[in-house]
Amino acid sequence: MQSRTPAGRTGRPRSAAADTAILAATRQALVELGWSKLTLGDVATRAGVAKTTLYRRWAGKNELVVDAVAELFDELELPDRGSLAADIEGVVLQFAAILARPECKSGLMAVVAESTRDDALRERVRASVVERQKRLVLEGRARAQTRGELPPEPDPQEAARTIDLIFDVVAGAVVHRTLVSGQPADEEWVRRFTEVLLGGLGGTQP
């Protein structure tokens, strides 16, 4: 887990054990109470720390929830399943399973809604969730290029734009499917989604 201590803050070093307990307690509270009823006082009690300990680490509930949810996505892995299609299907199924967890559904939707009127919170969501998980696209794309399934892209700027687009397409589709439409991203849906992602819509360029 990346350190989230604001730059320039001084004082006693942060305790990794306390951070772990606080973030776990936050997820537990999200499951039992939901975002709207979650309070820092309740989280502190569950984690066995003083409430002031939370305020030394996080500015408020939204920032705490972002970091607690971000840890869930850090569980994502991209094992080598032998082909680009199989790799995509595997990670998308993992992603959908995490989104289906009650602590993720409650926390993620709430902080995304709050971030529409809070630029700093939006940036925290982007940095803690989006940017950290682009590692999966980088890894999968490099592996597919090594296998010869994708061509190399020597221009670093163009490669970065491609990574952004792939991430947006995958994350956008799965989040919409599971959290907006409320439909299951099961193996059949993931297989068909992967076919569209890799094959396109079959149209021709104008």
By the 10 Å C-beta count (0-12 exposed, 13-18 middle, 19+ buried), 61 is classed as buried
Enter the tokens of residue 178.
């599971």
Enter the tokens of residue 183.
């439909």
Please tell me whether residues 47 and 115 are part of one structural domain: no
Structure confidence at residue 10 (pLDDT): 42
Q: How many CA atoms lie within 13 A of 31 on its CB side?
A: 11
Alpha-carbon dihedral of residues 71, 177, 61, 167, nearest 10 degrees? 50
Residue 163 counted as domain residue: yes
Please tell me whether residues 110 and 184 are part of one structural domain: yes
Q: Is 101 left (phi over 0), alpha (psi -120 to 50) or beta?
A: beta
Q: 39: closest CA among 26, 50, 52, 48?
A: 26
Please tell me whether residues 187 and 96 are part of one structural domain: yes
pTM (2 d.p.): 0.86
Which domain does 140 fall in, by range? Answer: 69-198
Residue 1 counted as domain residue: no
Structure confidence at residue 201 (pLDDT): 67
pLDDT tens sequence across 131-183: 999 999 999 999 999 999 999 989 999 999 999 999 999 999 999 999 999 99
